[in-house]
């Protein structure tokens, strides 16, 4: 099975050990899971951004005062 040696400073290693302990995992299991969790996080963010873009018009219609000034139509600021 492929493996990987990763170098940490003492301070970094202490932080990683503390994070692993906080999750109740061994250091090896915690470090193994990190890239998998990052992949899942990126997938979630891509979906969330896509969902937001799809529903942007609905949000803008429901909350017209929340539209950032840069994207407002001319004259929308005048009161």
- Whether pLDDT at 79 is above 50: no
Length of the chain: 79
pTM of the model: 0.62
Query: Distance from CA of residue 77 to its chain's centroid?
Result: 33
Residue-wise pLDDT for 53-75, tens only, equals 999 889 888 888 887 755 656 55
Confidence (pLDDT) at 70: 53
Average of per-residue pLDDT across 1-8: 92
Cβ atoms of 11 and 19 closer than 8 Å: no
Residue-wise pLDDT for 22-65, tens only, equals 999 999 999 999 999 999 999 999 999 999 999 988 988 888 88
């Amino acid at each position: 099975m492929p493996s990987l040696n990763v170098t940490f400073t003492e301070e970094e290693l202490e932080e990683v050990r503390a994070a692993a302990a906080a999750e109740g995992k061994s250091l090896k299991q915690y470090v193994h899971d990190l890239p998998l969790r990052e992949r899942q996080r990126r997938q979630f963010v891509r979906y969330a951004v896509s969902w937001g873009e799809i529903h942007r018009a609905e949000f803008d219609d429901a909350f017209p005062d929340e539209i950032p000034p840069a994207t407002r139509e001319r004259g929308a600021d005048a009161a």
